[in-house]
Chains A and B, each alone.
Chain A
Amino acid sequence: MTEVQAMEAGTATTTYALAKALNAGMRKAMEDDPKVLVMGEDVGRLGGVFRVTDGLQKDFGEERVIDTPLAESGIVGTAIGLALRGYRPVVEIQFDGFVFPAADQIITQLAKMRMRSLGALSLPVVVRIPCGGGIGAVEHHSESPENYFTHTAGLRVVACSNPADAYTMIQQSIASPDPVIFFEPKRRYWEKAPVETDPARWLPLHQARVVNPGEHVTVLAYGPSVKTCLEAASAAADEGRSLEVIDLRSLNPLDIGTVVESVNRTGRCVVVHEAPVFSGYGAELAARVTEKCFYRLEAPVLRVGGPSTPYPPSRLEDHYLPDLDRILDAVDRTFAW
Chain B
Amino acid sequence: MTIDSVRGAPATPAHAEPDLVQLLTPEGERVEHPDYPLDLSPEEIRGLYRDLVTVRRLDLEAVALTRQGELGIWASLLGQEAAQIGSGRALGDHDMAFPSYREHAVAWCRKVEPLKLLGLFRGVNHGGWDPAEHGFHLYTIVIGSQTLHATGYAMGIQRDGVLGTPSAGATIAYFGDGATSQGDVNESFVFASVFNAPVVFFCQNNQWAISEPLERQSRIPLYKRAQGYGFPGVRVDGNDVLACLAVTRKALEAARTGQGPTLIEAFTYRMGAHTTTDDPTRYRLKTEEEAWKLKDPIERVKAYLVRSDMADQSFFDEIEAEAKAVASDLRKQCLALPDPRPLEMFENVYAERHPLMTEEQEQFAAYLASFEEVSS
Inside 8 A of B340's CB, which chain A residues have their CB? 312-313, 315-316
Q: Report the bound CA distance from A73 to B119 in whole Å.
A: 31
Instruction: Knowing A70-B182, A307-B360, say if A313 contacts B282 (CB, 8 Å).
Output: no
Interface code A31-59, partner B: CB below 8 Å = 1, 0 otherwise?
A: 00000000001101111010000000000
A307 near B126 with CB under 8 A, answer no
Inside 8 A of B179's CB, which chain A residues have their CB? 70
Query: Which residues from 273 to 328 on chain B have a C-beta closer than 8 Å to any C-beta of chain A?
Result: 277-279, 282-283
Determine how close the nearest CB of chain A comes to the CB of B270; give it in whole angstroms.
14
A140 within 8 A of B: yes
| Chain A residue at smallest Cβ distance from B209 | A70
A69 within 8 A of B: yes
Among candidates B126, B143, B209, B279, residue contacting A139 with C-beta atoms closer than 8 Å: B126
B346 within 8 A of A: yes
A140 near B211 with CB under 8 A, answer no
A63 near B5 with CB under 8 A, answer yes
| Chain B residue at smallest Cβ distance from A319 | B342
Instruction: Knowing A140-B142, A315-B340, say if A308 contacts B124 (CB, 8 Å).
Output: no
B60 within 8 A of A: no
Instruction: Knowing A46-B211, A74-B183, A101-B184, say if A315 contacts B346 (CB, 8 Å).
Output: no
Interface code A57-78, partner B: CB below 8 Å = 1, 0 otherwise?
A: 0000011000111110110000
Q: Report the bound CA distance from A314 to B212 in whole Å.
A: 28
B125 within 8 A of A: yes
Q: Size band of the A side of the interface?
A: 35 or more
B221 within 8 A of A: no
B124 near A46 with CB under 8 A, answer no
A253 within 8 A of B: no
B360 near A308 with CB under 8 A, answer yes
Inside 8 A of B345's CB, which chain A residues have their CB? 307, 309, 312, 316, 319-320
Inside 8 A of B195's CB, which chain A residues have their CB? none
A138 within 8 A of B: yes
Inside 8 A of A140's CB, which chain B residues have their CB? 141-142
Inside 8 A of B183's CB, which chain A residues have their CB? 71, 73-74, 101
Inside 8 A of B39's CB, which chain A residues have their CB? none
Q: Report the bound CA distance from A317 to B72 in whole Å.
A: 13
Q: Report the bound CA distance from A137 to B277 in whole Å.
A: 11
Determine how close the nearest CB of chain A comes to the CB of B335; give it in whole angstroms.
14
Q: Known contacts A45-B211, A70-B217, A313-B126; can you find 8 more A-B pairs with CB under 8 A?
A: A47-B282, A70-B212, A137-B73, A307-B346, A315-B124, A316-B339, A316-B344, A320-B345
B-to-A contact residues, CB < 8 Å: 1, 3, 5, 72-73, 101, 119-126, 141-143, 178-179, 181-184, 209-212, 216-217, 277-279, 282-283, 339-340, 342, 344-346, 349, 356-357, 360, 364, 367
